[in-house]
Structure 1
Amino acid sequence: MSEALCTICARGGSKGVKNKNIKELCGKPLIAYSIEQARACGLFEHVVLSTDSDEIASVAIKYGAEVFFKRGAELASDTAGKIPAIRDAFLRSEEHFGKEFKYLVDLDATSPLRLPSDITAAFEQFLKDKNDILITAMPSRRSPYFNLIELDERGKVGLSKPLAKSILRRQDAPKTYDMNASIYIWTKRAILECNSVFTERTGLYVMPEIRSIDIDSELDFDFVEFIIRKQKC
């Protein structure tokens, strides 16, 4: 669908895992998984990479991403937010390709276990529900109503979200979800105007835990590698 642009953001200098975005994962660099999934889902004419790293850019081009700009330093620092970088890529893409896109789909390079069908199903749900924004998540393993706790200013322990009536089983708690940093979808107006993904018209696409691991540490990387190898057996 040429009305939708796909972006993948991957800055250099990752802290949790050195050179994470291009580190080899079961025979190919991590970023290759997201690029290949974007191309395989059939929704996009353009898959655009936003990066400040020449090395990441070179690898991404090899796997089919389009790289026609280098992200500015102010959008690639440790404290820079991701939405401004995605918005920057969207605006640069409209200018570069000489066309307007109605929708933007961003795939996080650190979530390699998603399937192309997750992208298409999330997009179909986004259109059906007439969302402005859609995020993805998995059912949470722990609940703020049951076994997630906080310390107050006095050091007293309590549930993160206590209910008026206590519950004895996690299954009886309100349903909660863990964001998995896998797929984000915006309308053009939303990506240009919203500085948060949480609005009155934000939708949720639920993915299984097995496809929801966001690599943020060496342990995450090892775990994802184990899953991929097991799936190939």
Structure 2
Amino acid sequence: MRPVGGATLLERAIRFALASPRIDRAWVSTDDAEMHAVAGRYDVQTPELRPAHLADDAATTASVVAHLIGQGLVRDGYLLILQATSPFRRLDDLENLCAALESSDAEAAVSVAVHDEPRPEKLRRIVDGRLVPYLDAGFEGPRQALPQPYRLNGAFYLISVQRFLRDGVFLPAGTLPFVMPEDRSHNLDSQTDWAIMEAMIATGGWRLEDLP
């Protein structure tokens, strides 16, 4: 519910969905009465608040979507997840993602961004009070010698309804990656992420898309 660029994060996600010609119907699933009321002003609220067992720390997005399908709110076509914590995605990103999926034989696509540091091969964990490689084989050389890793940036998860019903996940085998630039890949998971966002907007490094 925090505002950024003249609208709350929730409203930005809703307005994005309503502005895209690729999206036929949008739903906001939440257990919060205030958010449900906001969604109601845009006519994208679910018929009722999310059940408690789908709003605790053990709940997954997949279980929430399965619940919506069970309610008959989603029937066929494709599912698109728009997390409110990804405010920098753009409408043409979604258009390009959909076009890429249509030109492939994949049934799912997800947005990613280049991940530079830390490289997973260089990470460590502590076992019995000692530092050991996080992966089975540690690595001590330069990062340039390692394959380029990518991270999920949270902007888009797209999958056919039938594939989701079959596998129950958003990243099944054969998922198509859609690479987005860093300035549109910032995902808000912490207060530090919010501070970085505010600083980058203030200095003109990152720009929010104007949405109707």
Is 1:119 paired with 2:94?
yes
Q: Which amino acid aligns with 1:73?
A: A
Secondary structure of the residue that 2:35 maps to in structure 1? helix
Question: Partner residue of 1:35?
Answer: 14
The number of residue pairs the alignment matches comes to: 205
Question: Partner residue of 1:109?
Answer: 84
Q: State the 1:48 CA deviation.
A: 1.0
- Please give the per-residue CA displacement for 1:79-117, whole angstroms capped at 9, x wherever unaligned: 11111102222343xx35xx8321111111111111111
Q: Would you say the 8 A contact 2:124–2:134 is kept in 1?
A: yes
Question: Partner residue of 1:209?
Answer: 182
Q: Would you say the 8 A contact 1:46–1:66 is kept in 2?
A: no
Question: Partner residue of 1:12?
Answer: none
Q: State the 1:184 CA deviation.
A: 0.5
Q: Which amino acid aligns with 2:156?
A: I
Change in CA separation of 1:77 and 1:159 when aligned onto 2, cut-off 3 Å: closer
Identity of aligned residues (%): 24
Q: Which amino acid aligns with 1:186?
A: I
Is 1:174 paired with 2:153?
no
- Please give the per-residue CA displacement for 1:64-85, whole angstroms capped at 9, x wherever unaligned: 6343332111111121111110
- Please give the per-residue CA displacement for 1:112-169, whole angstroms capped at 9, x wherever unaligned: 1111111121122222222222222111122223x33333456133363637xx6743
Among 90, 97, 107, the residue aligned to 2:69: 90
CA distance in 2 between counterparts of 1:156 and 1:103 reads 45
Change in CA separation of 1:161 and 1:129 when aligned onto 2, cut-off 3 Å: farther
Q: State the 1:185 CA deviation.
A: 0.8
Gaps in structure 1 of 5+ consecutive residues = 1-21
Gaps in structure 2 of 5+ consecutive residues = none
TM-score, normalised to structure 1's length? 0.77
TM-score, normalised to structure 2's length? 0.84
